[in-house]
Chain A
Amino acid sequence: GAGVSQSPRYKVAKRGQDVALRCDPISGHVSLFWYQQALGQGPEFLTYFQNEAQLDKSGLPSDRFFAERPEGSVSTLKIQRTQQEDSAVYLCASSPMREGYGYTFGSGTRLTVV
């Protein structure tokens, strides 16, 4: 597609509920990233995929967070047993795996845990 698409745009979850956030990257982009952005802060790195391989998941805050990209295109970020501190905007970005290229970000999913 022309850009990175994320869905849903907004998600309200009750505390303890599981959620799944979807990212459709730009076709052909090898690299895919997930970031978490709290209000008034810069994006914080969560995890990175190169094709279907998850090469870096050092930013995932707990084992309740899980990400996958099984066919090297669409990715899903899953949060189990959501907590209030999980409330944030979750941003997905993709990039061709060539040095010198910036990321293309989606508009994000705003997750509110009540």
Chain B
Amino acid sequence: SQQGEEDPQALSIQEGENATMNCSYKTSINNLQWYRQNSGRGLVHLILIRSNEREKHSGRLRVTLDTSKKSSSLLITASRAADTASYFCATGLYGGATNKLIFGTGTLLAVQP
């Protein structure tokens, strides 16, 4: 079963605009990660934020985490056509046999040139 729900399911923007995707999850976590998937390809790890962090930046990416609300957001600034892809959040809980990521349902982002 999926742990996370992403919102919106689909997003279409113009090149140069910012894109914001949200993720909600259900259980306690050690970290939350965001992945990108281009059509027909594997997933690419973008960024990881630990449960004791509130915000993290990597290039044009900004991730926030609110553990009290069990939610996270991914902001892509100054979007490019090459950012067109599906974006998934995934929650990680490490320790013993539970060392796995549970993925959300994904947001399909289309950046129009």
User: Are B42 and A91 closer than 8 Å at their CB atoms?
Assistant: yes
Q: Which of B31, B42, B104 contacts A105 (CB 8 A)?
A: B42
| Cβ-defined contact, B94 with A99, below 8 A | yes
Total residue contacts A-B, CB cutoff 8 A = 66
Contact A42 B106, beta carbon cutoff 8 Å = yes
B12 contacts partner chain A, Cβ-Cβ < 8 Å: no
Interface contact A31-B102, CB-CB below 8 Å: no
B50 surroundings in chain A (CB, below 8 A): 100
Tally A residues with Cβ within 8 Å of B. Answer: 26
Q: Which residue of B lies closest to A43 (CB)?
A: B103
CA distance A103 to B106 in the complex (A): 17
Contact B41 A55 (CB under 8 A): no
Which residues of the partner chain A approach B100 to less than 8 Å between Cβ atoms? 33, 45, 48, 56
Point out the residues of chain B lying under 8 angstroms from A4, CB to CB. 42
B45 interface residue per 8 A CB criterion:
yes
CB distance from A94 to the nearest CB of B (A): 12
Residue A97, interface by CB 8 Å: yes
Q: Is B81 an interface residue (CB 8 A)?
A: no
The residues of A that contact B101 with a CB separation of less than 8 Å are 33, 45, 103
User: Which residues of chain A from 62 to 114 have a CB within 8 Å of any chain B CB?
Assistant: 91, 93, 97, 99-108
**B22 → A minimal CB distance (Å):** 15
Given contacts A55-B99, A99-B31, A100-B50, contact A42 B104 (CB under 8 A): yes
Asked if A18 is at the interface (CB within 8 A of a chain B CB), the reply is: no
The digit string for B75-113, where 1 denotes a CB below 8 A from any CB of A, is 000000000000010000010111111111110000000
Residue of B with least CB distance to A30: B99
**B4 contacts which chain A residues (CB < 8 A)?**
42
Chain A residues contacting B31 (CB-CB under 8 Å) are: 99-100
Smallest CB-CB A-B distances: 9 pairs: A102-B45, A105-B42, A42-B103, A55-B97, A105-B43, A107-B42, A56-B97, A43-B103, A42-B106
